[in-house]
Amino acid sequence: MSCREVNWSWTSALVGAASAVATTALLSAKPKDPTFDLISIDLTSFKLNLPLLDADLVLTVHVTNPNVTPIHYSSSTMSIFYKGSLLGSADVLAGSQSAKSCKLLRLPARLDGLQLAHHAASFVADIAKRQMVLDAAVDIAGAARVLWWDHKFVVHVDSHVTVDPLFLDVVEQENKSELDIFVS
């Protein structure tokens, strides 16, 4: 039996243990769904296309990434519905968001007056009671980097928003997001 001399270093042991704990924590952290809240709607222009009126808006959305990793996402389009009909869309530009952070996104949107005209009686009633219900849906694809690997994901967001159609104030909202992560 031969004995070899082993060089023991507390520094190496502590660095190795800390690396193992950090890697385990990052890999075992359960991904959380991001949150989305519509903060405001700003009217930027009216376009009169007789007998209809098209509108351009900017939607300000507060987004929170509760996860321990930053994310990068590609551009997408949010669909906006009124009474089940596609009323318009908003562009979500590609971007990124830091870990455990929030930010405001300003989404340019266009509403089609022709679709609103199909529901003219409902729209007039909504103006009278100063409550208009809009639904929106979007799928945002991206990747979250954990150590050296990118983990692809898709977030599906469904929003149910009540707005004052005269002043475009957000009265009430319910947002549901679902995060799907793809392991490759």
Q: For residues 58 and 88, is the Cβ–Cβ distance under 8 A? A: no
Read off φ and ψ for residue 13, nearest 5 degrees: -65, -45
What's the gap between Cα 149 and its chain centre?
Answer: 22
pLDDT one-digit tens code per residue, 24-72: 555 556 677 788 888 888 888 877 665 667 788 898 999 988 888 888 8
Number of C-beta neighbours around residue 25 at 10 A: 10
Q: For residues 67 and 100, is the Cβ–Cβ distance under 8 A? A: yes
Was domain 10-182 assigned CATH 1.10.287? no
Q: What is the pLDDT of residue 101?
A: 94
- The residue type at 154: V
pLDDT category at 115 given cuts 50, 70, 90 is confident
Query: Does the pTM of the predicted model rise above 0.85?
Result: no
| Three-state DSSP class for residue 27 | helix
pLDDT at 90 over 60: yes
